[in-house]
Amino acid sequence: MTSPSLSYFRFRRWHTYTEETLANEAGVPADGKPVRKIVLGAVIRNPYAGSNSIQALDEVVQHSAALGVEFGRRLNALLGDDRPESFGKACIVGTAGEYEHGNAFLTATFADPLREALGGGKAWIASTGKRGVPGTTIDIPLAHKDALYVRSHYDTVTVSFPDGPNPDEVLILFAVATRGRLHARLGGIQAERIQGKDGLR
């Protein structure tokens, strides 16, 4: 049954993007498992579109916990037996809205239940966004879910969807990766040595 908070959002479309990389750019096979990256996106009507005088965006923030739960449910289904090591989030706001409208969907209220659904995480979640039109390309930053100082997991996934957002919509995106970069060799904390206490190291 759909929660009342989730019913607040007017969804038009869900998007998924998946890639699996088996070798690096030089053609060297993966040092271990291939890296899978999955992006889940929702095209949602922006309740603030055309209302530039609105100062308080609390209504979207309040309901976004249910959105995070739904994102987590769908991402777990896409991941199957894999578990994510990296997270990232983003928004593209249609031209009748403000960039800040998209950010209202992406606060900790949204991210915390999503993080919990995906197995937890100590670090803050890398985020970006912009205003745009259908087909706008966006680079979603990725970082290790438990420790930001793990250099091997600094990464990006680039997506573009042809059917959104319309001017009165937002495209909300969440990305996961199942491991760090292939053949990462720039030092720093190794993922298997994370302390996991403060989200940094």
Residue 64 amino acid letter: S
- Residue 26, Cβ density class (10 Å: 0-12 exposed, 13-18 middle, ≥19 buried): exposed
Residue 187's CB: how many other CB atoms inside 10 A? 8
| More confident: 160 or 54 | 160
Per residue in 84-128, pLDDT tens?
A: 999 999 999 999 999 999 999 999 999 999 999 999 999 999 999
The stretch 44-73 carries a mean pLDDT of: 92
Q: Is 1's pLDDT higher than 60?
A: no
Mark 126-155 as b/e (b = at least 16 C-beta within 10 Å).
bbbbebbebebebebbbbbbbbbbbbbbbb
Structure tokens at 153: 């997991």
Q: Is 201's pLDDT higher than 70?
A: no
Q: How confident is the model at residue 148 (pLDDT cuts 50, 70, 90)?
A: confident
Report in angstroms the alpha-carbon separations of 17 from 20, 38, 110, 140, 176.
11, 6, 20, 12, 11
| More confident: 183 or 148 | 183
- What pLDDT shows up at residue 101? 96
pTM for the structure as a whole: 0.94
Q: In angstroms, rounded to a whole number, what is the distance separating the alpha carbons of residues 77 and 141? A: 22
3-state percent helix, strand, coil for the chain, nearest multiple of 5: 25, 30, 45
Residue 76's CB: how many other CB atoms inside 10 A? 16
Q: In angstroms, rounded to a whole number, what is the distance separating the alpha carbons of residues 187 and 173? A: 30
Domains of the chain: 4-193 (3.30.1330.110)
Torsion of CA 132, 16, 157, 178, to 10 degrees: 150
Which sign, positive or negative, has the C-alpha torsion 149, 113, 105, 157? positive
Q: Is 79's pLDDT higher than 90?
A: yes
Residue 199's CB: how many other CB atoms inside 10 A? 16
Q: Is 188's pLDDT higher than 90?
A: no
- What pLDDT shows up at residue 190? 78
Give yes or no for a contact between 48 and 200, defined as CB atoms under 8 angstroms apart.
Answer: no
